[in-house]
Structure 1
Amino acid sequence: MVRYAMYALIVFICTACGGWDPSGPGRNRAPVIELLGEGSVQIQHGSSYSDAGATARDREDGDLTDKIEVAGLPIPTSTAGNYEVQYSVTDSAGASDTAVRQVIVAENNAPTIQLNGEASMEVEQDAAFSDPGATASDEEDGDLTATVQVAGEVNTAIVGSYTLTYSVVDSAGADASITRSVTVIAKPSPYAHIPITVDKPGFTTVTPLPDSRLVYVSSSSGDDTNDGLTPDTPVKSITRGKSLLRNGNPDWLLLKIGDQWQEGLGKWGKSGRSSGEPMVVTAYGSGSIRPLLMTGSEDGLRVSGGGSSPEVVDNLVISGLHFYAETRDPNSETFSEVTLNRGINWYRGVTSLLIEDNYIGYYKEGIQIDDLDNLNISGVTIRRNIIVDSFAASAHAQGIYIARTEGVLIEENIFDHNGWHDSYPGGEATKFNHSIYIQSNNQDVTIKNNIISRSSSHGMQLRPGGLIEGNFLIRNPISILLGLSGSEGIGGHILNNVVLNGNDISPTELRGWGIDFSTQSDATVEGNIVAHVMSEANNRFGIRQSVNASYISNVTYKWESGTEDPGNYFDPERSIEEYDLLVGGEGTFESFVKNIRAQSRINWNPDYSVERLRKFFKDGFGEESP
């Protein structure tokens, strides 16, 4: 026992003195590497990477840091991914150690860009445009605002829309962009309160001249002791307003929108300076109700002889007014008798006259133009008026009557229920009353792109021949007459009209005639559609046949015998009721009539334009796809 204790003591002493190695005598130990910093590092794409390094020590050799070998550097920071930095060291006896650091290069984030100010801006014509610019930032690169590039420019001299594109690219090549829309708008017009001065497709735009005198008339706020020269100082009566106009000058008579007068324009004898510097009678103010001129038993406007009247009244524009013969309207509370007055009645000479955007109702003739005194009437344009409910009890009545003129354009007007009254005694429909009646003593008359419905007899009579193009006619006993049926041939062109639902004048006067002319006429009849007759007349026809006429690509369908076959048409059964419903109406003929009568410059609905109506039915008679 004493011997064992002595042995243990010797072992303890030898071990404590380092004189004994349990692994074996003279055995070398391996060096040890320690990483500086974290063993796993994440950096942003494109950033720089600086390695923290490592240290190494060896029991026998001491500090071996400067002997460390490193692999995996530099880190390709332009490419996202997981990378390793490998460290290794070997001591003098050949023993070694290794260590690894994980380096994660994160995916690059694209820069972001934001507009300063609004994405859509307006700037007035000729004003300076200051671009608010844009800011940009990047998660990796920080603020990139200074590197934002701008493409595009804004030219404030020219009204229109412009686009500015802002773009930025970060250090890794990722980009971002954003756009701004800039609209250069016209300078506000000092005449913006006058609708005729504001451009509107399909309507004439007229602007006062520097020396024009503008005379304002308001029945609601005017006073005839005012000067009438501003909207704030209007006169009250039309008569007083007329007296302030200067003959031979481009002066304007302005009637307030929504106001009413128990007077019309009366007898007129003043002219403008030239065709480009006309005198103008029109509306001003806000709202959509035309100024209402209740003219009773008088003409709405009369240009005639007598009373030292000038032989020529020239260079005149009449636009945006409502002429109403309220005492001739049997449905009016003020009805008294059916007199023979007209809406616009013109007998004097003229070379430049524009009648546009007026509503004319319940006269004997809505418009009559007749060169009774051989003073030369020419250069007359009648455009986009609503002419309705003309009738008489003891005379013939028309929507428009033209005689002894040269050069008249009747374009894009709406005619409804002209030449007759449903119930007034003596006002019944007859074969003598029409929507448009052009006597044979006229020259160069064009009837183009009108909507004509429910005429007493003819939708139009163009007796001297001429051009009839692009009109839409519905429920007229005779829709179109070119020349004189049964007389010697008179030439002309009947092009691209749509004629629907031909009916009868009365139960005893049956018609159902679509397009009529002399059987000897050499007219060109091309691109017309005549369809869906409503008359039961035995002698009805879609298009009159002449041995001398030229017929090109016309369609007659469900009108006369032999036209029932639909052929290969896409949709030949289309109706006006279907169209009215399609565009938001009630789907009735009455709704269609109500909507076409509501048209005006201020409140124009393109769905009830002649172009869209004509296209709807022409598309129906197009060829069906195989």
Structure 2
Amino acid sequence: MGSCSKDTESETSDSPQTVDQEEEEPSTVIASFITTNDFDLPSQNSDGFTILTPSSDSKIVYVDSNSGNDTTGEVYDSNAQEIGQNMLMPTTSIKPFASIDAAKSNMRNDAPDIMLLAAGGVWDVGLTVTRGRSNEERSIYAAYGSGSRPLLRTGDGRGILNKQISNTIISGIKFWAHTRDDEGPYFENQEGSDGFNFYTRDDAAIENVLIEDCMFRSYKNNVLTGATDATRLPFDKFVMRRNIISRNYATNGQGHSQGIYYNGEGASGGTSVLLEENIFDHNGWRLQSYSPGQDATDGQATYFNHNTYFANAKGVLFYGNIFLRASSIGTKWTANNGESSAQDIAIIDNLFIDGELGISMGGNNPGAYRFKDILISNNVLLNVGESRPTNRNLAWNISASDWDGGTISENLILHQENDQVTSTYGIALSSSTAMRDVFVSKNIIYGLSGASDKNRGLLIANGSGNATNIDITENYLHNSESSGLITFNNQDGFFFSGNFYNSSRVQEWFGVEEVWQNFDTWLEEIENDAEVFDTDIWANPERDIEMYTSTLGLGNTKQKFIDQLYLQSRANWNPALTAPFINRWIREGFAR
């Protein structure tokens, strides 16, 4: 769950290793200022799921939509004989309620009470949860028995009805806006609400919340609003792990749509939000754009919508998530025009597939040093730009602007297969106002093409503002077709050293102040220790998701891979379908 040393195994294989429950989960070095351990998560079992147990004075209610009865339903103490040794697998003698509302009337606020919904049960209602007593004694809302996740069909209503929650676990429940999902059998119209909308107040923090193994599908948005002014308390230790958030969309008049939107600041301890091993797929859009401009009619993709959108965030860690087919950006980050508006953010070992931009850290209003102490490391970005949701011709991978200290290291930015994409880059660095102390090292950009404008390189260093100590070192840059390798404007503050280059272009690899030059000139004027390399040094740089899925025996298409992701749950967990395992296999293709 936490951090461990980077995997240094040098042997490669075309097939992923067989994974058993005792094998150590692969992970990477996580920034020292924030780790998963800082979020005080409850204990986990050998599969990495939270161990759900009652406290000594917990009250437990069971709910079964098929066999329950609101008249005869009973409330149990944690040591009741009917519960047995495991409250998630009780004896057949329990007496469940039929309705969630009747069961909830027996739940106490500020107590470690527990509501368990029968696996396979269906309710046409959203969920209202109670507060727990403390981080160690949380209220719990989860599933019991064997079978599929309990299903809450919420139509045009919200999935989780609370606006403030604390000391709470919500586990193993499917929330479905079924009447606005045109891929399901209940579609009626596009009216809808958010899956959840949590916001803090001056007297109510959102703290010690764990949402795990849930599914949120076809809502407009999922919203977290923290301390946006001095009177409101911040988010603290809000954790989402191993959930599936998919197919959110909005139409005209409904605002923008994201898988998760967060606006606020972290607590003084720097533990605001953790997203770990979630799947974000196809959020922000229902249809590929067909109207000119950014028209959201019918749920079309627009460049305002993303898999995740975090504004003014402090103390946030993204670890091991999979971001697929975003309307525009896999994860977008903005900050107000003020120093350290966003701070202590780590994006580690995530997998990004498709969309039109992978990681954007610095968009919207420029301002000096808005982003402080940032780490983007060991992520894999594959085939960004493939499906062109907004119908724009973009394949932009990692963008960073206005940072005050940060590292972009050991990321793999790979492949570009859609020949309609004409605007491409691997990493773009911009000091639009002021940027300093940023290190870009040991990244591999391989197989990108499609930059029809030769003035755009795979790595862009744009010092239009004040750039200080921007070090670009030991990276590998390879293009498969027409694009240049480097675009370098305003040389002050940027330093290149020890990078490796390979290009199919005969000349004009490097654009310096809009004048293109060959490798020898670059070597003489900019980077005297640069080297040309041959891609044969790597074991198999062509590895992709289709190949990975095939080696698992699950088919050989991206759709087969996505289909398998949607089967992930506590009851059916395959570690080989998580970002850390997938990324390790792809990384082994670049072993030497």
Q: Same fold (TM over 0.5)?
A: yes
Q: Distance in 1 between matches of 2:99 and 2:442?
A: 55
**Which residue does the alignment assign to 1:280?**
140
TM-score by length of 1: 0.63
Q: Distance in 2 between matches of 1:353 and 1:519?
A: 32
The answer on whether the counterparts of 2:545 and 2:561 sit within 8 Å (CA) in structure 1 is yes
Deviation at 1:425, TM superposition (A): 4.5
**Which residue does the alignment assign to 2:320?**
449
Deviation at 1:515, TM superposition (A): 0.7
In structure 2, which of residues 525, 536, 543 is the aligned counterpart of residue 574 of structure 1?
Answer: 543
Deviation at 1:200, TM superposition (A): 3.8
Secondary structure in structure 2 of the residue aligned to 1:593: helix
Q: Distance in 1 between matches of 2:577 and 2:53?
A: 28
In structure 1, which of residues 438, 453, 456 is the aligned counterpart of residue 310 of structure 2?
Answer: 438
Q: Does 1:215 align with 2:61?
A: yes
Between Structure 1 and Structure 2, how many residues are aligned?
418
Q: Distance in 2 between matches of 1:200 and 1:254?
A: 22
CA deviation profile, 1:24-60 (whole Å, cap 9, x unmatched):
xxxxxxxxxxxxxxxxxxxxxxxxxxxxxxxxxxxxx
**Which residue does the alignment assign to 1:397?**
257
The answer on whether the counterparts of 2:226 and 2:264 sit within 8 Å (CA) in structure 1 is yes
Change (3 A) 1:368 1:226: farther
Deviation at 1:475, TM superposition (A): 0.9
**Which residue does the alignment assign to 1:545?**
429
Deviation at 1:455, TM superposition (A): 0.4
**Which residue does the alignment assign to 1:384?**
242
Secondary structure in structure 2 of the residue aligned to 1:225: coil
Alignment of 1:327-476 (within 5 A): 327-348=179-200, 349-366=205-222, 368-370=224-226, 374-394=232-252, 395-406=255-266, 407-422=272-287, 425-440=297-312, 442-463=313-334, 464-465=342-343, 466-476=345-355
The answer on whether the counterparts of 1:431 and 1:505 sit within 8 Å (CA) in structure 2 is no
CA deviation profile, 1:230-258 (whole Å, cap 9, x unmatched):
66210001111111101111000100001
Q: Distance in 2 between matches of 1:521 and 1:611?
A: 28
Q: Does 1:488 align with 2:374?
A: no
Q: Distance in 1 between matches of 2:404 and 2:218?
A: 36
Identity %: 34
Change (3 A) 1:405 1:317: farther
Quick one: higher RCO (CA 8 Å, sep 6+), 1 or 2? 2
Q: Distance in 2 between matches of 1:614 and 1:436?
A: 20
The answer on whether the counterparts of 2:346 and 2:376 sit within 8 Å (CA) in structure 1 is yes
Change (3 A) 1:507 1:272: closer
Change (3 A) 1:487 1:508: farther
**Which residue does the alignment assign to 2:532?**
none
Q: Does 1:303 align with 2:162?
A: yes
CA deviation profile, 1:88-112 (whole Å, cap 9, x unmatched):
xxxxxxxxxxxxxxxxxxxxxxxxx
CA deviation profile, 1:255-278 (whole Å, cap 9, x unmatched):
000111111204x4x211110000
CA deviation profile, 1:551-582 (whole Å, cap 9, x unmatched):
11110001146523425111011121111011
Change (3 A) 1:197 1:257: farther
**Which residue does the alignment assign to 1:227?**
73
**Which residue does the alignment assign to 1:55?**
none
Structure 1, gaps ≥5 residues long = 1-159, 161-195, 305-311
Secondary structure in structure 2 of the residue aligned to 1:577: helix
Q: Distance in 2 between matches of 1:375 and 1:546?
A: 33
The letter for the 2-side match of 1:363 is Y
CA deviation profile, 1:443-467 (whole Å, cap 9, x unmatched):
2111111011100011001333511
**Which residue does the alignment assign to 1:146?**
none
Deviation at 1:525, TM superposition (A): 0.8
Q: Does 1:621 align with 2:590?
A: yes
Secondary structure in structure 1 of the residue aligned to 2:161: strand
Which deviates further from its counterpart, 353-362 or 397-406?
397-406
The answer on whether the counterparts of 2:303 and 2:390 sit within 8 Å (CA) in structure 1 is no
CA deviation profile, 1:154-213 (whole Å, cap 9, x unmatched):
xxxxxx9xxxxxxxxxxxxxxxxxxxxxxxxxxxxxxxxxxx998243222231012111
In structure 2, which of residues 442, 445, 449 is the aligned counterpart of residue 556 of structure 1?
Answer: 445
Q: Does 1:246 align with 2:104?
A: no
Alignment of 1:15-414 (within 5 A): 199-229=45-75, 232-266=94-128, 268=129, 270-287=130-147, 289-304=148-163, 313-348=165-200, 349-366=205-222, 368-370=224-226, 374-394=232-252, 395-406=255-266, 407-414=272-279
Q: Does 1:612 align with 2:458?
A: no
The letter for the 2-side match of 1:300 is G
CA deviation profile, 1:454-505 (whole Å, cap 9, x unmatched):
0001100133351111101111210111233754342311100000101064
Q: Distance in 1 between matches of 2:165 and 2:353?
A: 36
Q: Distance in 1 between matches of 2:368 and 2:536?
A: 35
Change (3 A) 1:601 1:520: closer
Alignment of 1:4-23 (within 5 A): none
The answer on whether the counterparts of 2:348 and 2:377 sit within 8 Å (CA) in structure 1 is yes
The answer on whether the counterparts of 1:217 and 1:238 sit within 8 Å (CA) in structure 2 is yes
**Structure of larger gyration radius:** 1
The answer on whether the counterparts of 1:272 and 1:315 sit within 8 Å (CA) in structure 2 is yes
The answer on whether the counterparts of 2:122 and 2:153 sit within 8 Å (CA) in structure 1 is yes
Change (3 A) 1:520 1:250: closer
Q: Distance in 2 between matches of 1:496 and 1:298?
A: 39
The letter for the 2-side match of 1:398 is Q
The answer on whether the counterparts of 1:382 and 1:410 sit within 8 Å (CA) in structure 2 is yes
The answer on whether the counterparts of 1:247 and 1:272 sit within 8 Å (CA) in structure 2 is yes
The answer on whether the counterparts of 1:412 and 1:448 sit within 8 Å (CA) in structure 2 is yes
Which deviates further from its counterpart, 487-496 or 357-366?
487-496
**Which residue does the alignment assign to 1:586?**
555
Q: Distance in 1 between matches of 2:275 and 2:404?
A: 23
Q: Does 1:523 align with 2:523?
A: no
Q: Distance in 1 between matches of 2:392 and 2:406?
A: 27
Change (3 A) 1:567 1:197: closer
Deviation at 1:613, TM superposition (A): 0.5
Q: Distance in 2 between matches of 1:519 and 1:402?
A: 20
The answer on whether the counterparts of 2:320 and 2:578 sit within 8 Å (CA) in structure 1 is no
The answer on whether the counterparts of 1:366 and 1:388 sit within 8 Å (CA) in structure 2 is no
